[in-house]
């Protein structure tokens, strides 16, 4: 019985790390799709096409969902990293949230002033 406990713990740790990676990828896909919708509407109709309508609302929801998803992936990756010390496998969930915040901040500062 003692030999089976570490393998169960290791399997759970691997599942947590994989879950954090999948959550980060899903959140990044949501963000990319929202950005593509925004860019397409902006290219076709300009400012009127993205403000105060369903496009703007959809992009805002995608942004919040992406931020929440990448933050949750960051928390899962930190938990997994502390448990198993396998930091090299967790680079995507660990860097997704800071990268998204940086991109949103730069866009707000220089593009959408």
Q: What are the average pLDDT values for consecutive 10-residue runs of the chain, which has 113 residues?
A: 48 76 95 93 87 87 95 94 87 94 91 73
pLDDT of residue 7: 44
Task: For the chain, give the number of residues.
Answer: 113
Q: What is the pLDDT of residue 113?
A: 67
Measured between alpha carbons, how far is residue 57 from residues 8, 23, 46, 62, 80 in Å? Answer: 44, 23, 16, 9, 34
Q: What is the pTM of this model?
A: 0.80
* 100 CB-near residues (< 8 Å, 6+ apart): 27, 28, 31, 66, 67, 70
């Amino acid at each position: 019985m003692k030999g089976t406990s570490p393998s169960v713990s290791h399997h759970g740790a691997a599942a947590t790390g994989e879950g954090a990676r999948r959550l980060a990828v899903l959140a990044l896909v949501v963000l990319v799709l929202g950005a593509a919708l925004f860019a397409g509407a902006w290219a076709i109709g300009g400012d009127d096409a993205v403000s105060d309508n369903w496009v703007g609302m959809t992009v805002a929801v995608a942004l919040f969902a992406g931020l929440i998803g990448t933050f949750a992936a960051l928390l899962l990756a930190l938990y997994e990293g502390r448990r198993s010390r396998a930091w090299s496998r967790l680079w995507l969930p660990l860097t997704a949230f800071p990268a998204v915040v940086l991109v949103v901040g730069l866009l707000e500062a220089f593009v959408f002033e």
